[in-house]
Amino acid sequence: NYSFNNKVALVTGAASGIGLATARAFAESGATVVLADINADAVNKAAQDLVANGFQAEAVICNVASLDDIEAMVKHIVSTYGQLDIAFNNAGIQNVLAETADATAEDFDRVMSVNLRGVWGCMKYELIQMRQQGNGVIVNCSSLGGILGGAERANYHAAKHGVLGLTKSAALEYATRNIRINAVCPGLIRTPMSEKMAASGQKEALDAMVKTVPMQRQGGPEEIADAVLWLASDCSSFVTGQSISVDGGLTMR
């Protein structure tokens, strides 16, 4: 267990799945957690649950595809708490299935606007504050899709590859300024997103993929949270610009 006492941690996409599990883990480790999500009802409920259990948490409604929303969110955090120590840029949407010759620009742009530009926008405003305060840790959520190709999923895979490019580039920029930036690459994780994919005709593909996982199972969102907390803690103080795959070994061959 880590101690994040007196730290302010922002988690985007915190109303569900990996983000929710990570927000909970940060709260349980002493952080003040800002849970950000586009789903107002769900994120309000998530924050209320944490507060009811004695943790420090607050919900902020934010669409990460909107730079104005992100700027307002970070301004709110700084004016409320005076600092932003940790950010987990996790909000994401699932792929839109189509082979490349049939894909539409609208679908491509929609996935990019959340899964890639959303991460960039969050990093931009988080780094304005972290640069000024002289410390910070950012963890971005990529995917096994950031490592492997995915037939009929080029939009999602291109975005997740891009997240690793953003991570390495910003890590280089801030390496001497006490700001570390890393990424996690979740494998097949049981969350509402993967359940929705299974329900939308991708169940067979998912089942077939689980069979190729060396550990022969899906992961739980808490197993991603464990890696994010390590990357956000001083236990990874010499680690920057890296991505950690938490995938039961799926991408090792």
The catalytic residue positions are 156
Question: How far is residue 99 from each of residues 2, 122, 159, measured CA to CA in Å?
Answer: 44, 30, 16
Pick the stretch among 71-79, 128-136, 137-145, 233-241 that binds ligand NAD (CB under 6 A).
Answer: 137-145
Residue whose CB is less far from ligand NAD, 175 or 215: 215
Contact 1, 12 (CB under 8 A): no
Question: Which residue lies nearer to ligand NAD by CB, 3 or 48?
Answer: 48
* Coil/strand/helix, residue 3: coil
Binding mask 139-178 for ligand NAD (x = CB under 6 A): --x-xx----------------------------------
Tokens 């090792």 sit on residue: 252
Residues between 16 and 45 with contacts to ligand NAD, criterion CB under 6 A: 16-19, 37-39
Q: Which amino acid is at 212?
A: T
Residue 159 φ/ψ region, left for φ over 0, alpha for ψ in the -120 to 50 degree band, beta for the rest: alpha
Tokens of 5: 């006492």
Pick from 92, 121, 162, 248: which binds ligand NAD (CB under 6 A)?
92
Query: Of 13, 121, 136, 162, which lies in the binding site for ligand NAD, with binding defined by CB under 6 A?
Result: 13
Q: Binders of ligand NAD: how many residues, by CB under 6 A?
A: 30
CA 41, 93, 194, 13: dihedral to nearest 10 degrees? -40
Binding positions for ligand NAD, rule: CB under 6 A: 12-13, 15-19, 37-39, 62-65, 90-93, 114, 118, 141, 143-144, 186, 188-189, 191-194
